[in-house]
Structure 1
């Protein structure tokens, strides 16, 4: 049998744009019957778009999709499911108060004499669960099951459609190691029965444990499709990031004149931080006036670390000390009160309030200090805004211009100014220069260095390795929710960071 005939799905030259912005640039993807195929890539690589086209949630702009040697154009996910292409997403969509069997056959219940035939439904559900090697009572309410068993019920529901292709999107994000092992057993069983599985995950250990081939997407393009056994972890990381291990570009950022902070007092000490299964023992520390970079692939725990330090996610175990004082942060309000500030990577969702003015956005955190008897002092507010607009070179028609009308770089400067209005000691920056033009990017990098030289501690998360190497005195590398390397001096280089991410 030739390769083409082995493919249960063949997508060729798939293109998709949103509002004129390309998300996929002619992607090819082929899936063989009875294989587990990893689909990987960083944020914005195009994985979700490709899956949604595969399942009929999105319509492709151009390209060809052949399923079981026939050209198809699914109008919606229902058509794809009926044909045997089913996705199980990270957020499990089941009805908690219904039984396992009811969830498996929801909307497709067998009937007898006009009534739901519960005996037949339970029997058929039991047969599907048995096919997967699962010992779950089909009569149990779903909300009585743990997360792993709910995941299995979602897979059983997919199989009940007669799925020839099963798409699993980050299925282990909430599972323990033992539960992951059970999932892998189910996947191998389905593989042996001829089901093709598309497996989306950022965890390399899992990819190499269960997957046959891997397709890497980057910036909406298909970079490689290879057998995983022929690809080292370091090669896989480099393909995802578009780098070579020996590449080191110097002088491409505006971080200049960073002072030595080794003689400064300790600012932050975070030990063995744990949160769900996303942080599994992250430790780091920094001094006043120090910029510490946080490196890692998607899902390594970078953003979760920042959010836990800001009180936006609950710390389940571990300790956080600021200037030697043990903190117990219940929410961001507590973090702000002790001098911790956070700029999220999603500026539009978690940063700016689009319909408010530059003045209102900039002074949002400082309003308690600008208020007397419940009334905001407009005079003090304007004085503060004018000072920081000038200091940060914020380009706007006026302080009353709506912030959504500003460029991305100027929006980011407003958010920085918001925290500089406060007595900020520790600044957590998650992708501070993403999505802004080169000129504004260099201005912000220069500003970060200036703030550090004035004694502010900065924890900087960035996917751009040059930014971390040139803008940090130290880089802490995370992998699978753990801090696995701390790089300083000559060891703080792109090659060493890539090795630490992969090995």
Structure 2
């Protein structure tokens, strides 16, 4: 008997690449008007399953069956999945920057909006886009050029584009990764509206708070297998984390006993001009300090100036005014070489764009920042490089066969460990961490948090930028809150609450 409430079902899905089984007899059911959380660690098989459901891996390339509204289907392409009612929004931003919001929404679907089969009425497209945006409370206008949107708004635009095709099931792969806190709130409102209209959603996330608040049910994958399924009334954070990671994590944010000493860094009235807009600053007369053995958190919405501070301290952005003092002496940071010479190291927000050498092995990635230490007479010593790389490979507990493993084959969490290890290779005094746990699973996050604790206990000082507010408050000894490039509040750990941070972050902020 067919259960009419089940909109999409995957039965006994097995997928192999050569002799490697990445999915083994995975089962999944999505009910009408339900938000189903699909969760698991990096390498659990989530992405492979999504590609099967989206038709990217055609029916002949895997074992098992897919049913839509009780009927078996054989998906041969993403287009095939679309016309059968499956919408997919990937984690990576994929928009046409030079076109308008409305044109992006209907791109690839212009023919259905054409007159006489050929001529497109942009007036009609703008009207339809307006209706769609208002219906789901998207906060941008149809005629806006996409290049002017924030990264988070571009992600929401991709969701609008998927909704224009009126899917029965909408798959959202890590949809909040690039969103500000207010954009996350907007997304949750959109998800609730879709539920009320009967649209089913597969919601992929690594964030426990989203799992607990957004999902009606969760399916947990680990090592390519279905480990467990829980309805909302049975949600238990510790149990879910254990199922995801295969180990018990009693304290996601481990405690530390670092001795915070005297001031190591002082920034006074730092001002950085905006490279895109004349007579505008991204940072406006910012002042703060950092002590030895301290984790200083920087909170704020996207565009508030958080990453700009880190990039300025690392010599990537030029500052027009202000002073930087290190150990009581004023210093000049004109470029990255200056910053590294003075003891700064940066872990960038986007490890894919400018963080890693993806076609190189772990060994090269761990030593690239300090080749002088493994060279003799300007020639790299193979034995020295291997010895140096092996020490950081072990220190960071990178899970890979060896230092010769290609970085591109690692999970997100292990890639992040490699970046941190590389940053430590020059023995920095101040480590700048920009979204260090972005896009990695709960188990890997816990390991990164322990690495942070170990480093500050050894006397390193850290400036931490994170959009994950519970993470920022748990890992910081003190935090400053930015809005519009200015410091709005400075909060000690004992006084820090999410409400106080959000109040400061939205002060004078423009939405």
Same fold? TM cut 0.5: yes
1:127, distance to aligned residue in structure 2 (A): 3.6
Aligned position for 1:480: 468
Matches of 1:124 and 1:418, distance apart in 2: 50
1:326, distance to aligned residue in structure 2 (A): 8.0
Aligned position for 1:161: 165
Aligned position for 1:30: 29
Matches of 2:473 and 2:95, distance apart in 1: 37
Query: Would the alpha carbon gap of residues 107 and 355 (structure 1) be closer, same or farther in structure 2, given more than 3 Å must change?
Result: closer
Matches of 1:357 and 1:135, distance apart in 2: 42
2:8·2:31 contact (CA, 8 Å) conserved in 1?
Answer: yes
Matches of 2:125 and 2:50, distance apart in 1: 30
Q: List per-residue Cα deviations over 1:302-327 (Å, max 9, x = no partner).
A: xx9xx9799499899xx998756788
SS at match of 1:25: strand
Aligned position for 2:10: 11
Q: List per-residue Cα deviations over 1:348-393 (Å, max 9, x = no partner).
A: x9566967998999687345x99xxxxxx964647x6656767888
Matches of 1:95 and 1:360, distance apart in 2: 32
1:352·1:361 contact (CA, 8 Å) conserved in 2?
Answer: no
Matched, 1:111 2:114: yes
Matches of 1:20 and 1:188, distance apart in 2: 42
Aligned position for 1:97: 98
Matches of 2:359 and 2:184, distance apart in 1: 42
Aligned position for 1:65: 66
Q: List per-residue Cα deviations over 1:396-441 (Å, max 9, x = no partner).
A: xxxxxxxx997449xx9x999998986665789999xxxxxxxxxx
Query: Would the alpha carbon gap of residues 355 and 471 (structure 1) be closer, same or farther in structure 2, given more than 3 Å must change?
Result: closer
Q: What is the TM-score with the length of structure 2 in the denominator?
A: 0.60
1:41, distance to aligned residue in structure 2 (A): 2.1
SS at match of 1:5: coil
Q: Which has the larger radius of gyration?
A: 1
2:39·2:218 contact (CA, 8 Å) conserved in 1?
Answer: yes
Query: Would the alpha carbon gap of residues 176 and 379 (structure 1) be closer, same or farther in structure 2, given more than 3 Å must change?
Result: closer
2:367·2:388 contact (CA, 8 Å) conserved in 1?
Answer: no
Matched, 1:128 2:137: no
Matches of 1:342 and 1:86, distance apart in 2: 37
Query: Would the alpha carbon gap of residues 108 and 338 (structure 1) be closer, same or farther in structure 2, given more than 3 Å must change?
Result: same
Q: How many residues align?
A: 406
Q: List per-residue Cα deviations over 1:198-244 (Å, max 9, x = no partner).
A: 11223333333322111222222222211123212232222222223
1:96, distance to aligned residue in structure 2 (A): 3.1
Query: Would the alpha carbon gap of residues 422 and 4 (structure 1) be closer, same or farther in structure 2, given more than 3 Å must change?
Result: same
Moved more, 81-90 or 10-19: 10-19
Counting only pairs closer than 5 Å after superposition, residues 71-220 of structure 1 correspond to structure 2 as 71-109=72-110, 110-118=113-121, 119-134=123-138, 137-145=141-149, 149-220=153-224
Aligned position for 1:446: none
SS at match of 1:91: coil
1:169, distance to aligned residue in structure 2 (A): 2.0
Query: Would the alpha carbon gap of residues 235 and 102 (structure 1) be closer, same or farther in structure 2, given more than 3 Å must change?
Result: same
Matches of 1:391 and 1:44, distance apart in 2: 27
Query: Would the alpha carbon gap of residues 121 and 262 (structure 1) be closer, same or farther in structure 2, given more than 3 Å must change?
Result: closer
1:310·1:331 contact (CA, 8 Å) conserved in 2?
Answer: no
SS at match of 2:244: helix
Aligned position for 2:239: 235
1:269·1:286 contact (CA, 8 Å) conserved in 2?
Answer: no
2:155·2:178 contact (CA, 8 Å) conserved in 1?
Answer: no
Aligned position for 1:365: 370
Moved more, 77-86 or 168-177: 168-177
1:86·1:166 contact (CA, 8 Å) conserved in 2?
Answer: yes
